[in-house]
A and B are shown apart, each in its own frame.
Chain A
Amino acid sequence: MPHISVRNLTVAYDGQAILSDVSMDIPDRQITAVVGPSGCGKTTFLRCMNRLIDMTNGARVTGQVLIDGEDILAPDADLISLRKKMGLLSQKPQALPMSIYDNVAYGPRLHGLRDRKQLDALVERYLRMSSIWEEVKDRLHTPASRLSVGQQQRLCLSRGLAVEPEVLLCDEPTASLDPVSAQRIEQRFTELKQDYSIVLVTHILRQARRLADYIVFFYMGELVEHGPADQLLNDPRDDRTKAYLSGTIS
């Protein structure tokens, strides 16, 4: 299990700071919820951890994100192994333009797995893990785009898990889902935290209350407060956190 430490992380787009001087450690094998109002830098924070921030034009990143002591923001960091380690579940499910089977097999194939039997077993295992196997087992070779949005999000979870990451980065993963699908995804998270560290960006405070072991609160690009969920929810120290929790700012 890798340990993630963030040191003095600052991100600016075209000179305007989105994150300023963030330092904290992400607890292992827990669900860490990153909360805060829209535009507070939650997603940017997440995108630094798998370096997808690189894809954003004009973003300037300084500071360090250390994974087991290794700075992944270093220019010579190995992005392929980093991203293999950090699974991503994005806000809108992005089914790849291929069959359900190929969606799950996509990552393992990228990383060199060719054996058909192993792939079959792996596809089944991870589709089961995100509890969608029963719904799709008879149509594994049909286009993934024909699934409902809720099913697609669980497929994306299977696909992310199939790469065998160690950390799951989730960017408002239930935001575009119906309540039942959202609940299913949440259930998976509570099981998955036995084996994975989960960083969950959410703007739904109730979701953070339900799931989080640890909460990080951002406001206007600043890390205001972070701590165990109980403590932060029941006894916040900063006035801004209090205001956010009481719904005065959102």
Chain B
Amino acid sequence: MRRRAVEEGFFRALMVLAVALVVVGLLLIMAIITAKGVGSLSWEMITQAPQGGYYLGKSGGVLNAILGSLALAVGATALASIFAFPVCLYLQQDYAGQSRLASFVRTSLDLLWGIPSIVYGAFGFTVLLYLGMRASLLGGMIALTLVELPIMARAMEEAVRMVSQDLKEASYAMGGTRWETMRKIVLRQALPGILTAVLLAFGRGIGDAASVLFTAGYTDSLPRTLLDPVASLPLAVFFQLGTPFPEVQGRAHASAFILLVIVLIISVVSRMMGAKVSKYSVR
């Protein structure tokens, strides 16, 4: 009896410890970035592109990187959604079911998830060269789409798979086709989960430096067309941290802080949207 109580206590303590580590880690990251970055944060940082000598400590901001990152991540997330949604529907029992093709696709997505994003960057770069393009917003978007797609498709699939077979059959039983059932029932019921999947992919996309390093390039000017290079926040952090000047390094932390705030805002907004759209969900 005593042994079982000790066992119970031990594993509970282990769980609490793990949870504490996760929470403390998150808070620590936020605290350090805020502490180191807030001092350098200014209106100028978020409203101006780098001026001459910015990386030596002169005036300017990272508006180029903010806009660039938003354009890259929004574009890539939109592109990834266009592919991820059909893929996750196809993996449902109603379409591919438990066929070998479906499990092959699932395994492929898991493998793609595990590929380091620098590899996508290198792959994207090769494709760009082959097409005779240079590093550009479009190139970066495509590379980021590859990074986001497996995460989004797998997370969406989980959400869509949660929709009970009985609920779908209620629609089929009234003469609904598979597509009608997917669009009117499954999409509605799984929408909160689908939004989470999109958000997860967006967060990964906007924070990824390696895949855009070669494919999107970097520039001090604001993004203009799809075919021009764009800056991005993760690379802005990287370049500024790499300078020997403390004030520029401070701005690196400020840039990281901005990145964090963007992700936070998107997360809160999508959660609010999720609550709104799940009004009709059945449990």
Q: Which residues of A contact B (CB under 8 A)?
A: 50, 52, 55, 57, 79-84, 86-88, 90, 92, 94-99, 106-107, 110-111, 143-145, 156, 159-160, 163
Question: Does residue B51 face the partner (Cβ distance < 8 Å to A)?
Answer: no
Residue of A nearest to B177 (CB): A80
Residues of B within 8 A of A86 (CB): 173
Known: A55-B93, A106-B184. A50 touches B173 (CB 8 A): yes
- Taken together as a complex, chains A and B put the C-alpha atoms of A92 and B168 apart, in Å, by 13
Could you list 11 A-B pairs, sorted by A, with CB under 8 Å?
A83-B175, A87-B174, A90-B166, A94-B170, A97-B185, A98-B280, A107-B174, A111-B175, A145-B281, A145-B283, A160-B174
Q: Mark B87-117, 1 if CB is under 8 A from A, else 0.
A: 0000001100110000000000000000000
CB distance from A38 to the nearest CB of B (A): 18
Residues of B within 8 A of A111 (CB): 175
Our pick among B93, B165, B171, B175 for the contact of A96 (Cβ within 8 Å) is B171
Question: Does residue B176 face the partner (Cβ distance < 8 Å to A)?
Answer: yes
Q: Verify B175–A94 contact, CB threshold 8 A.
A: no
- Taken together as a complex, chains A and B put the C-alpha atoms of A99 and B189 apart, in Å, by 13
Our pick among A83, A95, A98, A144 for the contact of B173 (Cβ within 8 Å) is A83
Q: Verify A94–B167 contact, CB threshold 8 A.
A: yes
Residue of A nearest to B278 (CB): A97
Q: Verify B282–A96 contact, CB threshold 8 A.
A: yes
- Other than the known A95-B282, A97-B188, A97-B282, what 10 A-B pairs have Cβ atoms closer than 8 Å? A84-B175, A86-B173, A87-B174, A88-B173, A90-B170, A96-B171, A97-B185, A106-B174, A145-B280, A163-B175
- Taken together as a complex, chains A and B put the C-alpha atoms of A184 and B189 apart, in Å, by 29
Residues of B within 8 A of A106 (CB): 171, 174, 184
Closest 4 A-B residue pairs measured CB to CB?
A88-B173, A94-B170, A107-B174, A84-B175
What's the dominant secondary structure at chain B's contact region? helix
CB distance from B276 to the nearest CB of A (A): 12
Interface residue count for B (Cβ, 8 Å)? 28
CB distance from A153 to the nearest CB of B (A): 12
Known: A143-B279, A143-B280, A145-B282. A80 touches B175 (CB 8 A): yes
Residues of B within 8 A of A80 (CB): 175, 177
Question: Does residue B7 face the partner (Cβ distance < 8 Å to A)?
Answer: no
Q: Verify B279–A96 contact, CB threshold 8 A.
A: no
Question: Does residue B172 face the partner (Cβ distance < 8 Å to A)?
Answer: yes
- Mark out the residues of chain B between 172 and 213 whose CB falls within 8 Å of any chain A CB in the assembled complex: 172-177, 180, 184-185, 188-189
Q: How many A-B residue pairs have CB under 8 A?
A: 85
Residues of A within 8 A of B176 (CB): 110
Q: Verify A83–B170 contact, CB threshold 8 A.
A: no
Q: Verify B174–A159 contact, CB threshold 8 A.
A: yes
Our pick among A90, A107, A143, A160 for the contact of B169 (Cβ within 8 Å) is A90
Q: Verify B173–A97 contact, CB threshold 8 A.
A: no
Q: Verify B184–A55 contact, CB threshold 8 A.
A: no
Our pick among B97, B164, B168 for the contact of A57 (Cβ within 8 Å) is B97
- Taken together as a complex, chains A and B put the C-alpha atoms of A107 and B174 apart, in Å, by 6
Residue of A nearest to B173 (CB): A88
Q: Verify B174–A110 contact, CB threshold 8 A.
A: yes
- Taken together as a complex, chains A and B put the C-alpha atoms of A156 and B170 apart, in Å, by 9
Residues of A within 8 A of B175 (CB): 79-84, 107, 110-111, 163
Q: Verify A55–B165 contact, CB threshold 8 A.
A: yes
Residues of A within 8 A of B177 (CB): 80
Q: Verify B94–A55 contact, CB threshold 8 A.
A: yes
- Taken together as a complex, chains A and B put the C-alpha atoms of A220 and B124 apart, in Å, by 60
- Taken together as a complex, chains A and B put the C-alpha atoms of A57 and B167 apart, in Å, by 17
Residues of A within 8 A of B174 (CB): 83-84, 87-88, 106-107, 110, 159-160, 163
Known: A57-B98, A92-B166. A83 touches B281 (CB 8 A): no
